[in-house]
Structure 1
C-alpha cells in the first residue's frame, strides 16, 4: 500500500503495482453477486448511476460522468476515483476505506451516514455539499480541495486533516472535531465555530478565527458607530 502524509496525518492508499494484482476493464460497476474486484472502469458518460448493496474492491474509476448519482449501502475498499464528475450525488449508509478521490467534481453532494477510513480527497470540488453524520473511523485528508459553503452536520472528523483548502462559508453544525487539523487554511469565513472544540490551529490563525466569530455574532464595532 502507498501512503500520503501531511504533517502528523498519514493515509494508506491503494497500490495497484502489487505482485499478482491485475485490473480488468469492465463496462459496468454492477458486479456479479454484489461484488466487483480488481477492475478498471473508464470514461463513461451516464445519465443515471444507481448502485446499492455492492462491494467494490481494488479498482480504479477514471473519467466517470453522471448527471445523477445515487449510491447506497456500498463498501468501497482500495479504490481510486480519478477525474470523476458526479452531479447530484447522494451517497448514504456506506463505508469507504483506503481510497482516494483525485481531481473529482462532487459539487452539491449529499453524504449521509458514510464512514471514512484512510481516505484522501485531493484537488476535489465539494462546494455546496452537505455531509451529515459522516464519521472518520481512521485518518482522512482533504488537500487542495474546495469546500466552499459546504456543511458538516453532526459529523465526527476526529483525526482528520484539512490542508490548503477553500473554506469560505464552510459550516460546522454540531459534531465531534477533536484533533481536526485546520492548519494551512484561511479560517476567517468559517461558520459554526462553537462546534470546533479542541481542533488544531496555528497561533497566526487566531486573528482569522476572531474575524469569523465577529461575523457569526454580527458584532458591531464601536469605531464604526463613532464615525457616523
Structure 2
C-alpha cells in the first residue's frame, strides 16, 4: 500500500497493476470495467451508469456527459475532460484525478474515501460531498467561482486557488485551507472547525463580519 500525507492527513493511493489490459471505452448505457486501461476516446455527451475498479483512464473526453450512478474503486484519471459533465458517485474509494479539466462540472459524491486531485481546474463547478471518510486532498487545483458543499471535514486544499468560491458546508472539522489562496470567498461561517492562518483571517475579516450581520463602516 502506498500512502500520501498532506497537512497531517494521510490517504491511501489507488492500487492499480502495471499489466492492465487495453480496452476501448464506452460509457453509454451500462458499463463495468475492471483491471483495464481506457485511453484516447471521445465520450462527450454520453449518458450512462456503472462501475470502474482498478482502472487507468487517460485522454478521454467526457465533456457534457451524464453519469449516474457510478461506483469508483482504485481509479486513476489523467488528462480527462469533465467540463460541463454531471456525475453522481455512490462511492469514490482510492480515486485519483490528475491534470484534468472540470470546468462547470456538477459532481456529487455520496461517500469519498481517499480521494486525491492534482492540477485540475474545477472553475465554475459544483462539488458536493455527502460524507468524507478518512480524507480528501486537492493539490494545486483551481476553484474559481465554484461551489463547495456538504461534508468538507478532513478535506485539504493544498496550494489551491479559491477565488470567489462559495462554501456551503454541513461539516468542516479538519478542513485545511492554510496553504491556499482565498480571495472573495463566501460562506465562511459554514466552515466551523476549518483551519486558516492568521494572515488569511485578517484578509477575510471584512467578509466574515459581513456574513455575521455586522455593518462594516469604512
TM-score of the superposition, structure 2-length normalised?
0.89
| Stretches of structure 1 lacking an aligned partner (at least 5 in a row) | 223-228
Report the RMSD for the aligned CA atoms in angstroms.
2.2
Alignment partner of 2:202: what SS? helix
- Residue 46 of structure 1 corresponds to 43
Task: Determine the C-alpha separation between the residues in 2 that align with 1:208 and 1:30.
Answer: 45
* Partners of 2:153 and 2:173 within 8 A in 1: yes
Task: Determine the C-alpha separation between the residues in 2 that align with 1:89 and 1:15.
Answer: 26
Within 5 A, what are the aligned runs for 1:13-162? 13-17=13-17, 22-30=19-27, 34-52=31-49, 54-153=50-149, 155-162=150-157
* Partners of 1:81 and 1:102 within 8 A in 2: yes
Residues 98 and 113 of structure 1: CA distance in aligned 2, closer, same or farther (over 3 Å)? closer
Which of structure 1's runs of 4+ aligned residues deviate more than 4 A?
Answer: 214-220
Residue 163, structure 1, aligned to residue 158, structure 2: yes
Q: Deviations over 1:75-116 (max 9, x none)?
A: 100010001112221112521110100001111111235321
- Residue 225 of structure 1 corresponds to none
Task: Determine the C-alpha separation between the residues in 1 that align with 2:89 and 2:58.
Answer: 23
Task: Determine the C-alpha separation between the residues in 2 that align with 1:6 and 1:132.
Answer: 21
Q: Deviations over 1:138-191 (max 9, x none)?
A: 2100110001111123x0011111111110111112411111011101224210
- Residue 2 of structure 2 corresponds to 2
Alignment partner of 1:138: what SS? strand
Residue 191, structure 1, aligned to residue 174, structure 2: no
- Residue 226 of structure 1 corresponds to none
* Partners of 1:187 and 1:212 within 8 A in 2: no
Q: How far off is 1:206 after superposition?
A: 1.8
Alignment partner of 1:64: what SS? strand
Residues 91 and 150 of structure 1: CA distance in aligned 2, closer, same or farther (over 3 Å)? same
Q: Larger Rg: 1 or 2?
A: 1
Residues 194 and 83 of structure 1: CA distance in aligned 2, closer, same or farther (over 3 Å)? same
Task: Determine the C-alpha separation between the residues in 2 that align with 1:191 and 1:28.
Answer: 39
Task: Determine the C-alpha separation between the residues in 1 that align with 2:191 and 2:64.
Answer: 33
Q: How far off is 1:122 after superposition?
A: 0.5
